[in-house]
């Protein structure tokens, strides 16, 4: 591997964020020496969205969620995540 570039010192997180949004980290980090770590208490960031669904679909979701003893919004996230993973694996 060629010589790695030195990571600059940043004054703020915004400055660092801007830097990494325009630079390739492989020029600065040797990933062959990376170690796998776990962050068991780290929760993924979430964002609220609004989505309009037919009332009949919401009712069906509530029935399924009740059968699984989970909130229907949680069931929606599970089902959506499963479908996205499935679709991505088909393409990959």
Distances (CA, A) of 50 to 3, 47, 53, 61, 70: 48, 10, 10, 17, 20
Whether 63 shows a pLDDT value over 90: the answer reads: yes
- Cα–Cα distances in Å, from 17 out to 5, 8, 21, 23, 69? 17, 12, 6, 10, 41
pLDDT (0 to 100) of residue 43: 86
Tokens found for residue 24: 């390739």
For residue 1, pLDDT beyond 60: no
Is residue 28 over pLDDT 90?
yes
């Amino acid at each position: 591997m060629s010589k790695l570039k030195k990571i600059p010192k940043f004054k703020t997180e915004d400055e660092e964020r801007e830097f990494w949004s325009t630079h390739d980290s492989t020029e600065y980090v040797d990933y062959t020496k990376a170690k796998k770590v776990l962050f068991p208490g780290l929760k993924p960031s979430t964002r609220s969205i609004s989505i309009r669904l037919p009332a009949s679909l919401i009712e069906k979701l509530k029935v399924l969620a009740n059968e699984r003893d989970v909130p229907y919004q949680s069931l929606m996230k599970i089902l959506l995540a499963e479908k996205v993973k499935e679709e991505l694996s088909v393409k990959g």
